Amino acid sequence: MQKLQHKFAVLITLGWLLTCAYQAQACSLALHDWKRLFHLRLPLSAPLTPLAELDAILDKFPRNSLKQILWVANHNLFSSFSIALLPLLPNWEAHLPWQTLPTTASVVELAKGRQNQSEIPLIIGADQNQLQIALFVDSNSSNRCFQLVLMQTSRIRSVYASRQTPWAQESRGMTWVSLVFYQLPLPGRILSLAVFPVYQTRRALIDNHEYVEQLLAEKFLATRPEQIFDPYTFDFPDLPE
Amino acid sequence: MRKLIVCILILAGSHSLAAQSYRSFDLDAFIAEHPTGASYDPITRCFLNSTVIPDEIASIGQKIMEIEQKLSDLAVLQRANAEKLLEAKDSNAEADGWQKNLVLARQEKDLKSHKYELLARQQNLQQLSSRDSGILPDIGNLVNDIRARFNDPNAIYLNYLPATETQVHKNWLSSPLQIYLWSPHERYIAEYIENSYEISQIFPQCRRPVVFQKSFEREP
């Protein structure tokens, strides 16, 4: 109950910030100078999406050598439903049957228990999950452009208990969604919506170049000089540890 | 006697002025006689028989192969570590296994990152070899050979660059070097040495001039 109240407070704060932003002025892509306005860290029982887990095993196994993936975490409604979105991704590993399992033992113990199965599953466990919410403002656009970032981090331990080719890996998983908008996060005001990682890179779901060009023409945004090209221009500054 | 003392004083005073030694160097002749310089072909805009880029590409290829071998050795260690992890009897042994796993993963990451760096460099060189700028490594070597000839660190070498044949009128003197050539006072040449960039189109067929600063030492 207390957690729910906390989340509700966060939502109200965000809404308030966005309303204030509208009263301030407008923003864009172009050459941004992101300043952090707001940052919040929330513990999660399970990851909201398995994108980082998918990324952790990318190209680690020969194509179609796996038959099933067991995703171990203290799952909640979000995580259980999120695996339904996996078939939309291009990776072959995403098209395997994914099954959610509660954390009843370590991934090593779970893997040992399934070592004698005819088709050994790949076991991926996610713990130490956190969700970070951050709002950045672009000072190059007179505080008119905003970037809302939802970042999920977790410790991912994967084990494949094959007797011939045993495999284990621990990694830090990171998934983020970034929404860049002008004044308000409304359709028509969105400059870009991007997700990371899809094939280990940032994938833009929305990239509204026309709108950006319009804002640049009206000088609401700072034009990026041609010689400044940084592939990470669209990303955001590091969030605090 | 008084005259003798005055003479001695004048000579003593002029000693510091005479300390600076000047040497001449014929860059045109050096380039013409240098094996690299002499092999420049203005039509193809490259040094004939140059092996700088192919040699570097081959050397990078060798390094990539070595990294791949290391990665393959590392994969054996990682498999052994995974096997040991699956045989862990308690949580401490499991934690040790994961710790080792992280160390090996870090090594793998470093090796892969180095490999990708080398692959990118190899690709750049392959692209460079088909462009005008492909001659730059050869020019770099040539410049190093030229620098090596300047073995007296205190001397001022004149004709460091090919001398211009244009006669400049006194009224049009614009640089300390030209002023020095007109009126050879040490301070002019010192000013020139301090401030000038040596700029020359050593190879007239190059699209861009070859530019380097004497005081600038390229990182190896």
Q: What is the pLDDT of residue A190?
A: 93
- pLDDT tens track for A94-147: 999 999 999 888 999 999 888 888 889 999 999 999 999 999 999 988 899 999
DSSP state of A176: E
CA distance to partner chain A, nearest, from residue B128 (Å): 21
Q: Which of B78, B94, B101 is nearest residue A106 as measured by Cβ atoms?
A: B94
* Cross-chain CB nearest to A166 (options B79, B102, B105): B79
- Cα separations (Å) of A99 from A50, A71, A79, A198, B165? 11, 6, 11, 20, 82
Average pLDDT over residues A156-184: 93
Give residue B7's pLDDT: 46
Q: How many CB atoms lie within 10 A of CB A176?
A: 21
Nearest to A169 among B88, B94, B101 (CB): B101
Cβ proximity of B186 and B200 under 8 Å: no
What is the average per-residue pLDDT within A55-65?
89
Find the DSSP H helices in chain B. 2-18, 27-33, 35-38, 52-86, 91-128, 136-149, 176-182, 186-195
Q: From the candidates B86, B91, B96, B106, which should be mutated to test the interface with A, based on the most A CB atoms within 10 A?
A: B86
| 8 A C-beta contact, residue A145 and residue A182 | yes
The better pLDDT of the pair A222, B15 is held by A222
The Cα A114–Cα A236 span in angstroms is: 42
Mutate to test the interface with A, among B77, B81, B85, B115 (most CBs of A within 10 A): B85
**Contact residues of A toward B, CB < 8 A:** 106, 108, 111-112, 115, 157, 159-161, 165-171
Contact B105 A161 (CB under 8 A): no
- Inter-chain contact B83–A161, Cβ cutoff 8 Å? no
What is the pLDDT, as a whole number, of residue B199?
A: 37
Q: What pTM, to 2 d.p., does this model score?
A: 0.63
The reply to whether B88 touches chain A by the CB within 8 Å rule is: yes
Q: Cβ contacts (< 8 Å) between A157 and chain B: which residues?
A: 98
Q: What is the pLDDT of residue B142?
A: 84
Which ipTM score applies to this complex?
Answer: 0.72
B11 at A interface, C-beta within 8 A: no
Residue B215 confidence (pLDDT): 44
Interface touch B78/A170, C-beta < 8 Å: no
Encoding tokens for residue A77? 């409604």
Confidence band (pLDDT; 50, 70, 90) for A9? very low
pLDDT at A28 > cutoff 60 = no
Please judge whether A108 and B88 are an interchain contact, meaning their C-beta atoms are less than 8 angstroms apart. Answer: yes
A122, two tokens: 């790949």
The burial of B5, by beta-carbon neighbours within 10 Å (0-12 exposed, 13-18 middle, 19 or more buried), is given as exposed
The whole-number pLDDT of residue B149 equals: 81
CB A56 within 8 A of CB A171: yes
A203 vs B213: which has the higher pLDDT: A203
Nearest to A184 by CA among A23, A76, A35, A29: A23
Distance CA A102, CA B97 (A): 23
Least confident of A36-50, A63-77, B43-57, B95-109: B43-57
Give the model's pLDDT for residue A207.
87
Choice among A27-36, A52-61, B85-94 with the minimum mean pLDDT? A27-36
Task: From first to last of the 220 residues of chain B, give the pLDDT tens digit.
Answer: 455 554 444 444 444 444 456 677 777 788 888 888 888 877 777 787 777 888 888 999 999 999 999 999 999 999 999 999 999 888 899 999 999 999 999 999 999 999 999 999 998 888 777 666 677 778 888 888 888 887 777 776 666 554 444 454 454 455 566 666 666 666 666 665 555 444 333 333 333 333 333 444 444 4
Question: What pLDDT is stored for residue B26 in this prediction?
Answer: 74
Extents of the domains making up chain A: 2-217
Are B85 and A171 within 8 A, CB to CB? no
Q: Are B174 and B164 in contact (CB under 8 A)?
A: no
CB-based contact A167 B78, cutoff 8 Å: yes
What is the per-residue pLDDT for B58? Answer: 92
**pLDDT given at position B133:** 67
- Contact of B102 with chain A, judged by CB distance below 8 Å, is answered with yes
Partners of residue B85 in chain A, C-beta under 8 Å: 108, 159, 166, 168
Of the two residues A207 and B172, the one the predictor is more confident about is A207
Q: What is the mean pLDDT of chain A?
A: 83
Size of interface A-B (CB pairs under 8 A): 40
